[in-house]
Amino acid sequence: MKVAIYPGSFDPVTNGHLDIVTRAARLFDKVVVGVFDTPAKALLFSTRERVDLMREAVAHLTNVEVKTYSTLTVDFARTEKAPVLVRGLRMGSDFEREFEMAMMNKQLAPDVELVCLMARAEYQFLSSTLLKEAVQFGDSSKVENMVSPAVLAALKRKFGPKAAGKN
C-alpha cells in the first residue's frame, strides 16, 4: 500500500488545497494530511480549528486522514510510513524556496519522494493570505467559490460582525 503525506499550515484550507488532496487521493492508496502544529507562526486559526476544518473538507474522501505534527516534515512522513510527500505548486509559489526545501529534505531523508502537483488554472492565484485579507477588509460573499461554506463561516466568525454583516 502506497501512502502519501500532504503537509501544510492550512490556515484555513482552501478549495485549492482540497483539489490537491483529492487528486493525491486518486494517485495513492492513502493520503495523510499533516497539519503543522506550530507555536511560532502567527496564524489566524488554532491547530484544533485548522484540523477540524480540514477534516470536514475531506470527510467524503475515504482514503484520507488528517493528523497534526510538530516535527520535521520528513520525520512525519516516516512516522506515517509514507514514502511520498505531496506538494501543490502554484505560479505564485516561490520556486527557489521550493527547490531549497526539496534538496534539504532529500539530504535529510533520501528515501522520501517529493511529488509535486500543479494547481488547477482557477486556483493558480489563490493564496490563504490574500483570501484572509479579502474577507477581513472586504465582502466575504466574493470568495464563496474559493472555500467551503464551513470555512467561509469560520472566517466570518474570526473577523466579526463587520465581515459577517456585509454578507
For residue 127, the number of C-alpha atoms closer than 13 Å in the C-beta half-sphere is 10
Distance CA 139, CA 141 (A): 6
Which residue among 30, 50, 87, 128 is the active-site one?
Answer: 128
Q: Which is nearer to a second copy, 55 or 89 (CB)?
A: 89
Supply the minimum distance, in Å, between the C-beta of residue 19 and a second copy. 11
For 120-134, the DSSP string reads PGGGTT--HHHHHHH
Distance CA 55, CA 65 (A): 8
60 given a catalytic annotation: no
Q: Which is nearer to a second copy, 84 or 155 (CB)?
A: 84
H-helix segments, the chain: 15-27, 47-57, 73-79, 95-108, 128-137, 149-166
90 given a catalytic annotation: yes
Supply the minimum distance, in Å, between the C-beta of residue 77 and a second copy. 12
Q: Which is nearer to a second copy, 55 or 165 (CB)?
A: 165
Instruction: Tell me the Cα Rg of the chain.
Output: 16
Q: Which residues contact a second copy (rule: CB under 8 A)?
A: 2, 23, 26-27, 70-72, 74-75, 83-84, 89, 91-97, 99-104, 106-108, 113-118, 120-122, 124-127, 130-131, 133-134, 137-139, 142-143, 146
Supply the minimum distance, in Å, between the C-beta of residue 117 and a second copy. 7
Q: Which active-site residues does the annotation give?
A: 17, 41, 90, 128
